[in-house]
Amino acid sequence: MLRIALPNKGRLSEEARDLFNDAGLEVRSSGVRALTASLGDEFEAIFVRAQDIPEFVADGAADVGVTGWDLVQESGRDLVSHLDLGFGKCRLVVAAKDDAGITSIDDIGTDEKPARVATVFPRITARFFADRGRPVAIVPVSGAAEIAPHLGIADVVMDITSTGSTLRVNGLREIETVLRSSAHLVTARQGPRDGDPSRVRELEDLVMALASVIRARGQRYLMANVPRAALDAVRAVLPGLNGPTIIELSENGAFVAVHAVVDADAIYRTISQLRALGGEGILVTRIERSVP
């Protein structure tokens, strides 16, 4: 049985639980503070801090982990992503005070006076500035890095942002995006612990199940009755996964039913186009799973 490390709190925890529940792997624990749980009686979950998950997976305490890619990169552990889960999206950016006169990375630090960089990500920060040939001194902080330049303990920050609003509110301007991150399903490079073939198969099934839910979230199932004479035009509107499914309507030979999977963000336009072609009885429903 695979042991899966999940975040124990915060947005990552909530969205990870929702994803596993939607995949039919309901999180069943003895209480909200339980350290372990069953995932649909198929897997075992352990709940730990998101930043500790790369260590748990790399050291073999867990076969699989769900955590932010930024935390994986900061850990420096040799992990492999099997699936981008699509939530927890953010960016790791370099930012400076609006009045600092810094407009690019090349303006940061000199050999005579290395720049001080406040960050929760010292490993990523050191690698980034070393690769860019900029001399810096790392100022590790545990949070609220955006206040460091105002307190005079750092010249710039490297921090996580989703929209950039927190940086702007604190008088900071983004200089460069270093890393784009989201939650990933990760394992050690050698795969599940002990290289057990049964665990490898379980991992493949898990990736397929989660991917089918993620894929379905961006799709809708559409059904409509359309004039038979307009089928060629309807096929252009409803390409679907393999073209629309055509179903004969015995009670009315002038119309046929068409079923298709459509991108969720195209539903409004698709319905409008079908109505213009004489479509009627249009129904749209959500999809729980989509397996190609």
Mean pLDDT, residues 237-260: 83
> Count of CB atoms within 10 A of residue 133's CB?
9
**pLDDT band, residue 210 (cuts 50/70/90):** very high
Which fold, 219-286?
Answer: Alpha-Beta Plaits (3.30.70)
Mean pLDDT, residues 137-144: 92
How many helices (H) and strands (E) are present in the chain, helices listed first?
9, 16
pLDDT value of position 26: 92
> Count of CB atoms within 10 A of residue 249's CB?
13
Which fold, 90-181?
Answer: D-Maltodextrin-Binding Protein; domain 2 (3.40.190)
pLDDT value of position 32: 67
Give the residue extent of every domain in the chain.
3-88+182-216, 90-181, 219-286
SS3 119: strand
Q: What is the pLDDT of residues 81-134, one digit of tens each?
A: 999 999 999 999 999 999 888 999 999 988 888 999 999 999 999 999 999 999
Mean pLDDT, residues 146-174: 92
Q: Do domains 3-88+182-216 and 219-286 have the same CATH topology?
A: no
pLDDT value of position 241: 61
Question: What dihedral do alpha carbons 174, 129, 114, 155 form, nearest 10°?
Answer: 20
Q: Which of 154-158, 168-172, 180-184, 271-275 has the lowest mean pLDDT?
A: 168-172
> Count of CB atoms within 10 A of residue 51's CB?
16
pLDDT value of position 58: 95
Question: What CATH number should be reported for the domain whose range is 3-88+182-216?
Answer: 3.40.190.10
Mean pLDDT, residues 26-51: 88
pTM of the prediction? Answer: 0.88
Q: Would you call 226 exposed, middle or buried from its count of C-beta atoms within 10 A (0-12, 13-18, 19+)?
A: buried
**pLDDT band, residue 251 (cuts 50/70/90):** low
**pLDDT band, residue 273 (cuts 50/70/90):** very high
